[in-house]
Amino acid sequence: MRALPTASALRVGLIADTHGLLRPEALAALAGCDHILHAGDIGKPEILDALRCIAPLTVVRGNNDEGLAWAVELPQQVELQLGGVGLYLVHELADVQAQLPEGVRVVITGHSHKPLIEERDGRLWINPGSAGPRRFKLPVSLALLQIDGGAISAELIDLLS
pLDDT score, position 5: 46
pLDDT score, position 58: 98
- What predicted TM-score, i.e. pTM, was given to this entire model? 0.94
Distances (CA, A) of 42 to 16, 66, 86, 87, 99: 7, 10, 23, 20, 27
Contact (Cβ atoms closer than 8 angstroms) between residue 4 and residue 26: no
pLDDT score, position 33: 98
Supply φ then ψ for residue 123, to 5 degrees: -120, 150
Contact (Cβ atoms closer than 8 angstroms) between residue 142 and residue 161: no
Q: What's the first-to-final CA gap in the chain, in angstroms?
A: 37
pLDDT score, position 98: 87
pLDDT tens digits for range 21-48: 999 999 999 999 999 999 999 999 999 9
**Closest C-alpha among 91, 130, 131 to residue 113:** 130
* Residue 116 identity (one-letter amino acid): L
pLDDT score, position 63: 97
pLDDT tens digits for range 55-67: 999 999 999 999 9
pLDDT tens digits for range 111-138: 999 999 999 989 999 999 999 999 889 9
All structural domains of the chain, each given as residue ranges with its CATH number in brackets, are 2-158 (3.60.21.10)
